[in-house]
Amino acid sequence: MGLRFRQSFTLFPGVRVNLGKNGASVSFGVPGASVNLSGNGLSATVGMPGTGLSYTTRLPLGGSGEEPMVWDQGQQGPATGLDPGSGGGVVPGTRFIQSQGVDRLTSPSMASLKKMMLAVVRQREEIITRTQEATERLAELRREQSWRSMFLLSWIFRARLAELAAAIAAEDEALLECDQWMQASLVGMDFNTPEGLVGPWKSVEDAFDKLSRVSRAWDLTSERDIDRKRERSSAGLAVERSDIRLTRSSTPWVRTKREPLKFQNANGGDLYLYPGFLLVGSERMFALVSLVDLKVAISFTRFTEDSESSIPSDAKVIGETWAKVNKDGSRDKRFAGNYRRPIVSYPELRFSTESGLNEAFMFSNLDATIRFALAFRSLQLRSAGEVEAAAKVWATSELANAKGDTVELTRLLG
């Protein structure tokens, strides 16, 4: 079974991408052409034959010059706590914290790159289909070969057995070819990071590595208001959260020299952070969000844990309350077995865009979370050319490193 997977399409005017067994290639109709993706966008570099010169066409990564990041320090309001549970059903008034469908999330400036990725995904799906078909045919052929090879009948079917042997060899070769095509059907990316962004991106990676090592990380999936009087609770908001992991790992169809920063998502597509964009979703359904369009808000929550045994080792306890309280926050003595509950300060990171991205994560460690937000902020400012503002954020980060004062750090960022 000879396979001929090859697709060709226009990436942007004058540039075509060709997908073949050896991967993706780009043609410009002139020699000396190449495509690069950097923090500033997709760039096409084309050589001018006979002159030794070249020119670069650049596609910006989007944005309108608006402030790319929102810092929501807020006031530490009423403590929040976990929903006591209702047998797995949805409690009336629950607000789910999740993004719109991935078909709505892609930044306009990333549409061309997504088009290229989708072409690779379609090819991989076709290869998977061909592989399944070849595997089924191979099984049928081997079953027939088995019964025709029985001792008393083999001489009768010797011609057919010869045909079967040839057909089996052909299907084995087809499966090998499918595997080779699958290995070649990847989106290969080399990020041509400008010199001024190498350090900021490295800081983001280092801060992410520290954030990935905190004791606990959660995806906030829903929230609802609490009737304090009826539930005798000190918390004004109940949230549902799921344990997640932060890792350096890539999707199986995108190949880069350095693995992206992955935020596991309990109620939607995972988030993969690259130097120039955020990939949200999975192989079949995904969106690409320009870092310029991405807003990251950091806030701090007074969270009521059930007991001291549930407090992560690196969390900061800031007070305590009772499981059942009076209006003034004192212990409600009408409830037998009423017990103390610790109040912990947890930082939250919320990723959002105007197109509908909405994901919130909670972490046990204040310092690691703030440092990641700082590093990301500095990267965005430098990407936008705001070098002085980025330097101020960087100096603030260094001051915090020296003092170990995360509260002062947050105040300085205002």
**Do the Cβ atoms of 240 and 222 come closer than 8 Å?**
yes
**Do the Cβ atoms of 95 and 222 come closer than 8 Å?**
yes
Question: Where do the domains of the chain lie?
Answer: 7-60, 80-109+192-412, 118-188
- pLDDT classification of 216: cutoffs 50, 70, 90: very high
pLDDT value for 41:
43
**Among the residues of 193-279, which ranges form H helices?**
195-211, 228-231
Residue 4 CA to residue 21 CA, distance in Å, equals 8
Continuous segment of H or E residues that includes residue 46: strand 41-48
**Do the Cβ atoms of 333 and 212 come closer than 8 Å?**
no
Local structure of residue 89 (DSSP, 8 states): P
pLDDT one-digit tens code per residue, 154-213? 778 888 888 999 999 999 998 998 888 787 777 777 666 777 778 889 999 999 999 999
The residue count for the chain: 414
Residue/partner pairs of 155-160 with CB below 8 Å, 24 or more apart: none
What distance separates the 2 farthest-apart alpha carbons in the chain?
Answer: 95
**Do the Cβ atoms of 197 and 383 come closer than 8 Å?**
yes
Report residue 376 as tokens: 């990301």
pLDDT at residue 413 is higher than 50: no
**Among the residues of 272-386, which ranges form H helices?**
366-383
pLDDT one-digit tens code per residue, 4-60? 444 444 444 444 545 454 544 444 443 444 555 444 444 444 333 332 333 333 333
- For the chain, helix (H) and strand (E) counts, in that order, are 7, 21
Instruction: State the DSSP string of 291-323.
Output: TTT-EEEEEEEEEE-S-GGGS-TT-EEEEEEES
- pLDDT classification of 247: cutoffs 50, 70, 90: very high
- Lowest average pLDDT, out of 53-57, 240-244, 285-289, 315-319, goes to 53-57
DSSP helix/strand/coil, 408: helix
pLDDT one-digit tens code per residue, 315-374? 999 998 888 878 877 887 888 888 888 889 999 999 999 999 999 999 999 999 999 998
pLDDT one-digit tens code per residue, 106-165? 998 888 778 877 877 887 888 889 999 999 999 999 998 888 887 666 778 888 888 999
pLDDT value for 361:
97
**Nearest-10 Cα torsion for 280, 285, 290, 294:** -40
Cα-Cα-Cα-Cα dihedral sign, residues 82, 85, 91, 97: positive
Residue 303 CA to residue 319 CA, distance in Å, equals 10
Sheet with 15-20, side-by-side order of all strands: 7-12, 15-20, 23-27
Pairing verdict, β 277-281 and 271-273: antiparallel
Inter-axis angle of helices 366-383 and 387-403, nearest 10: 160
